[in-house]
Amino acid sequence: MAQTVKRAYKYRFHPTTEQAQELARTFGCVRLVYNKALDERTRAYALEGRRISYVESSAALTQWKRSGDYDFLSEVSSVPLQQALRHLQTAFANFFAKRAKYPAFKSRKRSRLSAEYTRSAFRWREGALTLAKMDSPLAIVWSRPLPRGARPSTVTVSKDTAGRWFVSILVEEKISPLPPVASKVGIDAGITALAALSTGEKIANPRHEQADRRKLAKAQRALARKETGSANRAKAKLRVARVYARITDRRRDHLHKVTTRLVRENQVIAVEDLTVRNLVKNHCLARAISDASWRELRSMLEYKAAWYGRTVVAVDRWFPSSKLCSACGTLQEKMPLHVREWVCACGASHDRDVNAAKNVLAAGLAER
């Protein structure tokens, strides 16, 4: 039975000079409102032990607009500013629920430039999207069509460090589950191979960051030679950002292809419950782990499985998948990382990663 889900479609667009200026002002105001509200909530809790609610922050925003110091906030759409307060409220809710760290201030240089518009702040008419405070629609590059009859509920405009503009359109879409299949698969994430499957297949790791490492190093050396604050340094910084963007885009494209195939072909997918943030503390492997992007791989598997009626099972991270013989169940005392193939006392010969994937699948099926 088809289910209705919220799905975001992301496109590039090319703003006019006036649109770019309006969005730049909006980005700055969003950051200012978020930081000022965070500062006030932090001081209220530290000095008075009092928590400020979203309603109080929204009332304070109205007062800021009426004051002489922040009257420029009225020049941009009010909706992205209210959405910034809602995001801050969510950040505090996650903090108090111990799901996240304390909210951090948005940096002018390092924070993502974005603004979120709800239905009251944009016009959608015959496939043309016009944001509040703008006279003309955005010139969107429609790389793929929206679902037939879809009506956007939220629009998020962003600009990345490479200078590219994006618009993410959130719509409600009916997705039908895929026909059930009998196949099941266990996945052992790795570095040499992106993933070893319980079927014996190994999915290659393209190592996109390593492939562009020389180009990245050259761009970073050029950046280091430029004078701080100069126009040439800004250009060199943009070149570095474009190399990073190329790496990120290629990595994400590969992960989408891999995860879509795994979800289509298997009814149950068992994975290890890895804590990536702890693994990257190993300075010898941090770069390779980040390039493999295990966290994003699992995230894609989970939401695609939820869409298409598949099941993803996470196996405890302490499960000794590499030390266990998948044939007889004997647990080996030691299994150093340099050992890639080994023979069990029962006579079974194992590839380390494939054997681990088989054990992950067996453990995952046992937990269901």
Check 173, 209, 291, 353 and give the catalytic one: 353
Residue pair 302/270 in contact (Cβ under 8 Å)? The answer is no
> For residues 170 and 146, what is the distance between their CA atoms, to the nearest angstrom?
10
Q: Is 212 a catalytic residue?
A: no
In a 13 Å sphere around the CA of 285, the CA atoms on its Cβ side amount to 15
Please provide the DSSP assignment of 177-214 as one string. Answer: PPPP-S-EEEEEE-SSEEEEETTS-EEE---HHHHTHH
Determine the length of the chain. 368
Question: Does residue 302 have an active-site annotation?
Answer: no
In the numeric block, the tokens 């993933």 are attached to 195
| Helix H or strand E segment including 79 | helix 78-96
Catalytic residue among 22, 209, 272, 291: 272
**Cα dist from 223 to 107, 131, 167, 229, 241, whole Å:** 21, 36, 29, 11, 11
DSSP assignment of 85-139, as one string? HHHHHHHHHHHHTTSSPPP-PPPTTTS-EEEEEEGGGEEEETTEEEETT-SS---
DSSP H or E run through 240: helix 231-265
- Whole-angstrom Cα distance, residue 314 to residue 272? 5
Ranges of beta strands (E only) in the chain are 3-13, 113-118, 122-125, 128-131, 140-141, 154-159, 165-175, 184-189, 193-197, 202-204, 268-272, 311-315, 341-343, 349-351
Q: Is 116 tagged catalytic? A: no
Three-class SS state of 8: strand
Contact at 8 Å (CB) between 350 and 341? Answer: yes
Instruction: Say which of 22, 116, 188, 209 is annotated catalytic.
Output: 188
Rounded CA gap, 104 and 87, in Å? 12
As annotated, the active-site residues are 188, 272, 353
